[in-house]
Amino acid sequence: MKENKPTAIVYVDGLNLYKRVLEHSPEYKWLDLSKMASLLLPTHQILSVHYFTSRITPPVTDPDAVNRQDSYIRALSAQCPNLKIKFGRMAARDRLFPAVPIRLDKNGRVMLTKVRFAEEKGSDVALASRMVLDAAQGKADMYILVSTDADFEPLLQMLHSELKVQIGLFSPSQRPSRSLIHSKHQLVKVIRPSVLRDSQMPNPVTVSGSLIHRPDKWLKTEPPK
């Protein structure tokens, strides 16, 4: 039976959600994105959740991280039939930065040190393209971004001012980015710990007759409130 509710589509900036909330709160990593969206917006029918993420490369200090991500993605795909996953890619780059504390060489120049860091490529563009295309085609009554990344400001401005569609922001940060808020009519909600706690998948999740368990490393006791 079709729900008699306005409709919404949710677009999740996976890396931003991870960095802002999940990286330091492993007890919330077994996250059901569809359930989270429904809890944050119970007045709407969530048509689909688009999850933009990347396959990680194994850190030297934690080689099992790839297996944990794979378990999560397989469980999430089985648990959320309205989920659509789009993978970007992780690219490692080396850069020179001033050493800390600042040191000078014998010629008085600031000494530099080489740092390797990983960047996600392709996800932001894919998210913005998907959101604009869906809005232009009128696929839902509201389009919701899950991110605090100020780089999405032009995207939300276009959706609001040019396409005249209803937009929303689910902020992983307790203080939503001011640059992403453009209208008093825009829906803005903060993803609070209570919502994350209530949006966990069952443990285990059955996938094609097999059981996928929540990684032990994500079973950290939840801190008292």
Burial 167-187 (b: 16+ CB within 10 A, else e): bbbbbbeeebbeebebeeebb
Q: 188-221, pLDDT tens digit by residue?
A: 999 999 999 999 999 999 999 999 999 999 986 5
Q: Which residue carries 């306005």 as its tokens?
A: 6
Say what the pLDDT of residue 181 is. Answer: 84
Task: Report which of residues 56 and 73 the model is more confident about.
Answer: 73
Say what the pLDDT of residue 196 is. Answer: 97
Domains and CATH numbers, the chain: 7-89+121-217 (3.40.50.1010)
The neighbour count for residue 133, using CB atoms within 10 Å, is 10
Say what the pLDDT of residue 223 is. Answer: 47
Say what the pLDDT of residue 90 is. Answer: 53
Q: 155-171, pLDDT tens digit by residue?
A: 999 999 999 999 999 99
Query: How many Å apart are CA 145 and CA 147, to the nearest integer?
Result: 6
Q: 80-136, pLDDT tens digit by residue?
A: 999 999 998 655 566 666 777 888 888 878 777 766 555 666 699 999 999 999 999
Q: Does the pLDDT at position 222 exceed 90?
A: no
Say what the pLDDT of residue 108 is. Answer: 77
Q: Per-residue pLDDT averaged across 2-8, rounded? A: 85
